[in-house]
Amino acid sequence: MKKGILVLGLLMVTLSCSEYQKLLKSEDTAPKYSAAEELYNEGKEEDSNKKLRKALRLLEQIEPQFRGKPQGERLVFILADTYYQLGDYFNSPFHFERFLQLYPNSQKAEEASYKAASCYFYRSPRFNLDQTDTHKAIEELQVYLNTYPDGEYTEEANNMATELRVKLEKKAYEIAKQYHHTEYYKAAIASFNNFIADYPGSPFREAAYYYRFDSAYRLAINSFEVLMEERLNNAKEQYKSYKKYYPEGEYVPQLEDSMSEIDKRLQNF
């Protein structure tokens, strides 16, 4: 009985594949349209990439033939969304953006705008790589938020934009920190100054204040004597900046130890 069920199942799959192949070769667009929409809907519901890929082949065949027709709007959208459901975040935004150009007043315009922007979010790489797609994602998400301030996807778009901004902050912070760790203290101080000015609400802000001070401190104590007094006083100013904003901060013990050394050295002048 089990063998019979298995054979029947294989036969149905074979027939299904055979019918699909015939459909691909057919010149009749109406059954292709129906099959494509059915496969797209089932693929989304069942999370089936196999059905979505089948839908995609049909959609790519017939979409040009429906341009300017009533079904064209629906076809352009589900073509873009099929790429999106398959995780193809390079082709999907192109098709969503084309949909928005062709049908700016569509009921699906908001969803298309959000999904096009989110494609760039998913393309955004790790913080230590090139961040072109990250900047593009923030830009596109902001366009969505400006266009639909109370939209269906506003919360998701805000969360994505925040995550991307933190990624850019982390990249800038890590570049400055790398200067510190490789003992390019002047470059580190300049980079931390820029970071603090550019990202006032960053979660890395306290650490940036600390490493800016530590860079100034290490630059001072490793200087020629003719430069040391001025640089020690500069480090002292950086200490005051940290204490102003973080009087009970995480790095206070390290700062106090370094300040003791700075005060001792300044007594020699």
Query: Taking 60 as the threshold, does the pLDDT of residue 13 lie above it?
Result: no
> What's the mean pLDDT in 135-147?
97
pLDDT by residue (tens digit) across 103-117? 999 999 999 999 999
Residues 6+ apart with CB under 8 A from 144: 110, 113, 114, 117, 151, 153, 157
pLDDT by residue (tens digit) across 49-106? 999 999 999 999 998 888 888 889 999 999 999 999 999 999 999 999 999 999 999 9
Q: Please report the pLDDT score of residue 156 as a whole number.
A: 97
CA dihedral 197, 201, 203, 204 (to 10 degrees): 10
Q: Please report the pLDDT score of residue 165 as a whole number.
A: 95
pLDDT by residue (tens digit) across 205-230? 999 999 999 999 999 999 999 999 99
Q: Are the C-beta atoms of 108 and 77 separated by less than 8 Å?
A: yes
The whole-chain average pLDDT of the chain stands at 91
Q: Please report the pLDDT score of residue 135 as a whole number.
A: 96
Q: Are the C-beta atoms of 113 and 145 separated by less than 8 Å?
A: no
Architecture of domain 29-107: Alpha Horseshoe (1.25)
Q: Where are the domains of the chain?
A: 29-107
pLDDT confidence bin for 252, thresholds 50/70/90? very high
Q: Please report the pLDDT score of residue 269 as a whole number.
A: 84
Query: Taking 70 as the threshold, does the pLDDT of residue 181 lie above it?
Result: yes
pLDDT confidence bin for 16, thresholds 50/70/90? low
Q: Please report the pLDDT score of residue 14 as a whole number.
A: 40
Quickly count: other Cβ atoms within 10 Å of residue 71's Cβ.
16
Residue among 216, 215, 243 at smallest CA distance from 231: 216
pTM of this structure: 0.81
**Of all residues in the chain, what percent carry a pLDDT higher than 90?**
82
